[in-house]
Chains A and B, each alone.
Chain A
Amino acid sequence: MISALGFDAPAVLWLLVLGLLPLWRHGQSILRHPAMLLMPEDRWSRTLAWALRLIGMLCVVALVLGMAGLHLRQSEVERVGHGAHIMVVLDRSASMNDDFAGKYIQSTDVAQNPSKLKAAREVLAKFIESRQQDLVGLITFSTSPVFVLPLTHDQVALKAALDSAEAQGMGFTAVARGLGMALDYFKGKPVTGARLILLVSDGGAHIDSQTQDRIRSWFASEHAALAWIYIRGTNSPSIFVQPGEGDDAASAPEYFLHEYFKTLGVPYQAYEAENPRALEAALRDVGKMHNLPSHYFEKQPRRDLAGICYAAALLLLALLYGAKRMEISQWHA
């Protein structure tokens, strides 16, 4: 625990020698008495003398520590959680701003007919809140992926990260690069919990075979599971239904992406969410599956202790001042 303490100016610590001063300098005025021989042994007086000495020493020490700038160093605290490491890969392409397919199409009210992105964000926020044990990170992607937040417990930071995804999306759906970044984050870190990449998107994209092979090998080496929550738009095709003849990976990318994910060789689940409620159900399902103990380190910021030192010194000085005021420097007959 000592190693956790740090000093801004360690050279000042030499002044700690001054702390020995009260041992032979008392600073009290002296009354001459003819016969200490006859003065009775008094336990309270002896205790008091030592207490004053000790207070003086502590006071010097506290002042010196304050001057040396005592602080608790930034530290990492190991924590054990019972959750998964969930890296949310959220699609922010322009199409996410459209509304859902299914029954919600009839409603014209904006509040009851939210955009897919807004619905996904709200549901994800609720999901994160219910999964206090999990470490959750966030990557958003459209044309290129953006690393928003590493894996963390910090609910406030996660909420803020989700809120930051509010801005209008744009461009394409670069699924491969989003997944790549998520896998890259896991790379080189010890496996201390179940890893899950939660892909939330409303459309697929064609991934060329070279990239497919690379992603497959990364998935294998990082032991990450994959869950795809496919937010199905109004006119989007289902990922579970094989498209008709003549359709290829370019015209119906979702189905082929699903087929590709199945070949990854890691646990994979796909959900097709056609409305916010279905989305919620899908997330609940994901949550149930990944519930393993996980180790991780949390960073504690540096804490300045100089103020506490000075406060202690002030208190001790007040005590010494009181003792000085109680001191008798003259005989009163």
Chain B
Amino acid sequence: MSLLSSIPELIHYYVKWRANGLRSGAHVGRIAGSGSRFRGHGPLLDNPDPRRIDVRATARDPYRRLLVKMYQQNVSLPVWVVADWSASMAFQGEQGTRDGQPQHSAGNPVSQPSARIDANKIEVIADLCEQLAWSTWRMADRLGFIACNDGIVRELQVPARCSRLQGSAIRHRLMQAPAPQGGAHGLASAAAEIGRERALVFLVTDAHYPLAELQKVLQSLSGHDVVPVVLWNSAEHSALPRWGFARFRDAETRQERLLWCRPRLQQKINAAYEARREAIAEVCAQWGRLPFFISDRLQARALTHYFMESAR
């Protein structure tokens, strides 16, 4: 498989704020430099670039100085994927097993993103990282990865780097890691790993914890531009067994409940998920961005569309 044929669809992300990085890139920065966005006029002596002399401005200047146009430097942007690595992320709809352990493909380093039809959430995270890696590399941005459960999963942490191979590196680690487990409290401490430079953060989570906790996570990341990516599997809500008794156990709280699956209950569950969707959107909107919902599989076009909508 050649590298070129494995280029995934790009995600065209966009931020409205000015990045305060120093490296040249594709986003409007805060410092003056060779960008495309006009910043103002300055004396030639301070900005010794005669190509930028603005004749009209010089003619208007009452102090008879030679004025040059100044531009904002285009800078690169750190992009982080902060992934929820709690036990609920291990959910694989169609492969519920008797002992309740998910069949996570640990020890299988060969990634087969397209061969698998039943997408699990880990797969979606890997897909997202891979597509973002290509997109960020193209924009000269850096991509980093942090996974959190009760704390930060160190063996999954990948520092920010501008490389088109970053995606497959992250995927490789994800596939080799043991199945996600534990809670999601660690998400709130991810901000410390990202650094102080304002970054675009994709917070990938299923939000299956109290909304107050989501609120806390968003608050901790409030210094960054957070895109909440809410990852749900359609099997967990709309593809429940139609008739029969099923004993469900929560992946994180271990709470057990016997449910009598029937169309009426299915309706109730659908309604509960719909209400949850609205509640999450309401919380996220308070922190600047609406959430991006992924059901089953990531579609890069939809994410691009999301950025185009939020750019308005």
Contact = CB atoms under 8 A, between A and B. Distances in A.
**A and B associate in one complex:** yes
Interface of A: 26, 28-40, 42, 44-45, 48-49, 52, 323, 326-333
A331 B258 contact: no
Contacts of A42: 259-260, 265, 268
B239 interface: yes
A124 B235 CA distance: 86
Contacts of B244: 326-328
Nearest to A53: B258
Given A327-B245, A331-B93, A333-B93, A34 B88 contact: yes
Contacts of B255: 36
Nearest to B236: A34
Interface stretch (B152-160, B190-198, B271-279): B271-279
A35 B249 CA distance: 9
A30 B265 contact: no
B208 interface: yes
12 contacts: A30-B99, A30-B249, A32-B251, A35-B250, A36-B250, A37-B250, A38-B273, A38-B276, A42-B265, A42-B268, A331-B94, A332-B241
B248 A48 contact: no
B83 to A, nearest CB: 15
A26 B248 CA distance: 12
Contact of A26 (B102, B237, B247, B252): B247
Contacts of A45: 257-260, 265
Interface in B200-254: 206, 208-210, 233, 235-237, 239-253
Of A30, A32, A39, most B-chain CB atoms within 10 Å: A32
Nearest to A48: B260
A34 B96 contact: no
A228 B287 CA distance: 114
A39 B248 contact: yes
A53 to B, nearest CB: 9
B46 interface: no
Given A326-B244, A327-B245, A34 B89 contact: yes
Nearest to B265: A42
A140 B100 CA distance: 83
B95 interface: yes
A34 B251 contact: yes
Contacts of A32: 90-91, 96, 100-102, 248-249, 251
Interface residues on B, range: 35 or more
B98 interface: yes
Nearest to B234: A333
A168 B261 CA distance: 81
Contact of A31 (B88, B96, B210): B96
B251 to A, nearest CB: 5
Given A33-B251, A34-B236, A331-B239, A39 B257 contact: yes
A39 B241 contact: no
Nearest to A33: B248
B98 A29 contact: yes
B91 A323 contact: no
B94 A31 contact: no
A42 B257 CA distance: 10
Contacts of A326: 243-245
Given A32-B91, A34-B208, A39-B269, 5 more contacts: A31-B247, A36-B248, A38-B276, A42-B265, A44-B260
A40 B265 contact: yes
B309 interface: no
A34 B205 CA distance: 12
B234 to A, nearest CB: 8
Nearest to B209: A37
Nearest to A37: B208
A124 B208 CA distance: 90
A30 B256 contact: yes
Given A38-B276, A45-B259, A31 B248 contact: yes
B100 A328 contact: no
Given A34-B236, A35-B88, A328-B261, A28 B247 contact: yes
A330 B96 contact: yes
A28 B245 contact: yes
A29 B248 CA distance: 9
A49 B268 CA distance: 18
A259 B241 CA distance: 98
A328 B248 CA distance: 10
B118 interface: yes
B259 A331 contact: no
A52 B259 CA distance: 12
A32 B258 CA distance: 12
A39 B208 CA distance: 11
A40 B272 contact: yes
